Amino acid sequence: MNELLDWDIPFDRLEGLPLADVRVQAVEKEGVRAWRLLFTQRPRDRAKAGPAVQGARPLPMEEAQGVYRAEGLPPLALGEGRVRLGDLELTLWGLPHLEALPLLRLLSDGVPYPLLALRFALGAAHYYGLGERTGGLERRSRRFWNFTMDQPPRPGRDPLYQASPFLLRLEEGRALGLLLDESHPSLFDLGHAHPAEGRIAVAGPHLDLYLWEGSPLEVVRGLTLLTGRPAMPPLWALGYHQCRYSYADSQAVREVVEAFKAHDLPLEAVWLDIHYMEGYKVFTLSPHRFPDFRALSDELAQEGVRLVPIVDPGVKVEEGYRVFEEGKRRGVFILDDRDEPLVGGVWPRRAVWPDFSREEARAFWAEEVRAFAEENGFAGIWNDMNEPAVLELGGAEPPDKALPLTARQGGKSHLEARNLYALGMAEATHRGLAALGRRPFILTRSGFPGIQRYAFVWTGDNESRYEDMALSVPMLLSLGLSGVPFAGTDVGGFGLDTEPELLLRWTWLGALYPFFRNHSALGTRRQEPYAFGEPWTSRMREALRFRYRLLPYLYSLARQAHEEGLPLWRPLFLHWPEEPEARRDDEFLLGEALLAAPVLWQGARAREVYLPPGGWQDFWEGALWEGPRRLGVEAPLERLPLFQRAGTALPLTEPHAPTRSARWAHLEFRVALGREIRGRVYEDEGEGETLGAWSELLGSFDGQRLELRFVDRSSHPREAVFAEVRGVAPPSRGVGLAYQDGVLRLNLSSGEAWAEWDG
C-alpha cells in the first residue's frame, strides 16, 4: 500500500479524455437533488451502483446542445471536454496503462486508463470536508488520500483511519458538494502540486461523481441524506463513558464503578479492551479474568452501568475454536490471490478476516454479535482495527499494517474493497444488535460515507498533549461536515501521561463532544476523573454534571441529526458563510444556539472570542453582546467560555445519572432574550422504536414585556417546567415569576408565564 500512497502521480502525462462516455443523471433521494456523472471503461460498469449513495431515483431531465436541465437543479453543461456547473469547470483525464504502477495495471483488468482524474481551477473558493484529517478545517494547498489506514492522528500524517471522498466548496456564501462515490483509493490534491489547480484522482477503472448546490447547511444536509440518515442513538450513548486499555478483570471493573460511586461521578458505561477475551479470540471471554461474566453484567446493570466490549475483525486460526470453524465451514473469510484463506496476524498471531463485502459473511457476523451480546448482557459493540489493521504477514509486521491489495473479496480486489471494510462490518454488527429489539450502539475507528447509518466514530490513538486536544476541534467539525454527526476523541489523550490541568480542560471540552469517553493506554498514568484527587475531582465532577444538564439539548440535536442529517458540532461558517472571521478552527457551535470557545493551551486563563453577527449572551454570567465583534473573556479552570444565541431557549434538566428515559420530569429552558424566542425538546423512551414528540417553548420580548408559552406534546407527567433568564433587572409585575440575584425564573407548569418591566 505504501507503494501507492508514496506515488508521485505523473499528472503531466495524463491524457485528456472525451466526455462521450460520461453518463449524466439527475437524481433525488430524501428530497435532495444532485447531478451524477459516471465515466466507465468496461461494459460491466455501466450499471454501477455506488457504495455510498444507494436508492437514489433518476429524475426527468432534458438535454439541448450539451446543456442538461432538471427541475430543482442548476443547469449542467458538457462540451469541448469540459463539465460546467455554475462557476466550477471540470476536465476529465486518464493515465495511460503503461504509465501506471504495476499494481494498478494488474488490478484494473487491462483498461486503457487505470487511473482517472478530474482537474479544475481552485479560484477564490474555500475547500472543506474530506472527513478525519489533521490540521485546520481549510483543505487548500494540501493533498489527501482516501484509503483507510491504521495511522494515529499526528500533524502532517495522511491518510488516517477513515476514508471520506467528499469536498465542500464555498465561495461568496454558496456551497457546492462533490462526492466521489468510489471505494478505490482516491487522491484530492487542492493546490499542493499546482497552487491554482485542484485535482481529484481515482486509482481505478471508473469515476462516479455527485454534485449539488445550496447553502453550506443544505450541502451538508444533502450529503447525509444521499448517503443515509444517521441512526438515532439510545440516550445512554450520550452520557459519560470510561475506558482503559485495559480493565483486565472483573475486580478492575468493579473497582472503577465503585470509585465513580464513591466520588459521586456520573457514569454510563465501562468499556472492555482486548484483555477480556480468551487468547484474543473474538466472541469469547476469559474464564480466568472474568469467571462469571453474566453475574458481573447483571450486577452493574442494576446500578445502571453498561458494559461495551471491543470486537476486532481478526478471527484466530485455532482448531476447535467455534467461530473460526464455523466461518471456515461457511467460507466467509478473505482469500489470497490463490483463492486460499489469507492468514496473517493481529492480536492473535494467526488470524483470518471475514469478507464483509459478501452477504454470507455479514449474516455470519450478525449472528455472532447477537448471540454474544445477548448471552453476556452487552449494551453495545466497539469495532476497532477495522481498516483492517494487520500486525503480521509472512512472519513480519508489514510497514503499512495492511492486507495485500491483491487479496480477494468476493469479485473485488482488496484495492477496491478495503475502504468499505468497516462499513460492511458496522452493517453486520448493527444487524446483530438490532435483532435484540433495541437501538444498536456501535463505535467504529474506520469508515466510509454511509458509516453514520450504523455507528459513532472516534478518532483513534491520540496522545495526552494540548496539541492533540486542540486538534480534536477541527477534526470533529470536519467529520460533521463530512456526514458523521456522532464523533468523539479520547478525552485526556490515549497515549503518554496526562496532567490534571490538561485532563480538566479536556473533560470540559469533552462534555460538549457528541461522544464523550475518557480512554487511556496500557502503561500510562491513570486518568479517571478521580485520579488526581482534590481539588481536581470536584472540578471534573462539575464538568460531568454539566454534560448531564445538557442531555435534553444533546438528545434533541441527535434527533435533528437523525431526521434532517445536520451535525451536532458546526463550524461558524455553516451559519455565517459570508463572514471571513467565521472560518475559525478554535470555536464551534453546538447546534445553532450555543457557541463554545474552549481553552486549548496550557496555563491559559483568558482567551479571545469571535462572536458572529447578532445578539449573544454569556452563558454563565448573563452579560449581553452584539456581534460581529472580538471579545476578550476570562476562562477559569472551572468552566469553558460559552455564549448563547439571542432568541434561543436551551432545554436543560437536573443532572442525574445513569440515564433511564428521555422523558424529562424536570425541564428547564435557559432563555437568551430576543424579539422572537424559540426552543424545542425531543422526548421519547430513550430506547426502542416508539415514536416520541417535539415540545416547544415559544415567546416574544419587546424590551418591556416577556411572554412565554410552553407547548407540551409529550403526554407524560412533569414535576416542573421553568424558564430561566439571566442578566435582567427585577420585573415590576408578572405571572409565575421568581427573581433572585439577577436570575429570573418563570414557572411554565400551567403552560404560560410572563414578566414586565417599567419603561
Tell me the catalytic residues: 384, 387, 461
DSSP string, 407-438: -EETTEEHHHHGGGHHHHHHHHHHHHHHTTTS
- b/e map of 553-565 (b: 16 or more CB within 10 Å)? bbbbbbbbbbeeb
Residue 247 CB contacts under 8 Å (≥ 6 apart), including other chains: 253, 256, 270, 271, 272, 273
> What are the φ and ψ backbone dihedral angles of 733, each rounded to 5 degrees?
-160, 170
- Name 462's Cβ contacts closer than 8 Å, sequence gap at least 6: 152, 153, 468, 471, 472, 489, 490, 493, 494, 495
Residue carrying C-alpha cell 458538494: 177
| 3-state SS class at 364 | helix
In single-letter form, the type of residue at position 316 comes to: K
Give 595: exposed, middle or buried? Use CB within 10 Å, 0-12, 13-18, 19+. buried
Which one, of 586, 458, 592, lies nearest residue 513 by Cα? 458
Which residues, including other chains, have CB under 8 Å from residue 593's CB and lie 6 or more apart? Answer: 553, 644, 645, 648, 649, 650, 672, 679
SS3 at position 171: strand
DSSP string, 634-650: E--TT---EEEETTBEE
DSSP 232: P
31 CB-side CA count, 13 A:
8
585: which 3 cell numbers? 478552527
Burial (CB count within 10 angstroms: exposed 0-12, middle 13-18, buried 19+), residue 381: buried
Please report how the helices 500-510 and 466-481 are oriented relative to each other, as an axis angle in degrees rounded to 10: 10
CA 464 to mean position of chain CA atoms = 21
Helix (H) or strand (E) segment spanning residue 554: helix 551-564
Q: How far is CA 695 from CA 564, 710, 750, in A?
A: 17, 8, 14
> C-alpha 717: how far from its chain's center?
34
Distances (CA, A) of 724 to 251, 315, 590, 691: 44, 55, 20, 29
Count Cβ atoms below 10 Å from residue 402 Cβ, excluding itself: 22
Q: Which residues contact 70 (CB under 8 A, 6 or more apart)?
A: 26, 33, 35, 59, 60, 61, 62
Is the CB of residue 7 less than 8 Å from the CB of residue 405? Answer: no
The Cα 248–Cα 237 span in angstroms is 23
Cβ-proximal residues to 756 (8 Å cutoff; 6+ apart), any chain:
704, 705, 706, 731, 732, 733, 734
Contact in structure between 45 and 23 (CB atoms under 8 Å): no
Of 344, 331, 346, 401, residue with least CA distance to 148 = 401
Evaluate whether 92 touches 199 at the Cβ level (below 8 Å). Answer: no
Output phi, psi for 601, to 5 deg.
-130, 145
CA of residue 78 relative to chain centroid, distance: 36
Burial bucket for residue 486 (CB in 10 Å: 0-12, 13-18, 19+)? buried
Confirm if 308 and 233 have CB atoms less than 8 A apart: no
Q: Any residues with CB less than 8 A from the CB of 32 and at least 6 apart, and which?
A: 212, 221, 222, 225, 226
Residue 160: CB atoms within 10 A of its CB come to: 27
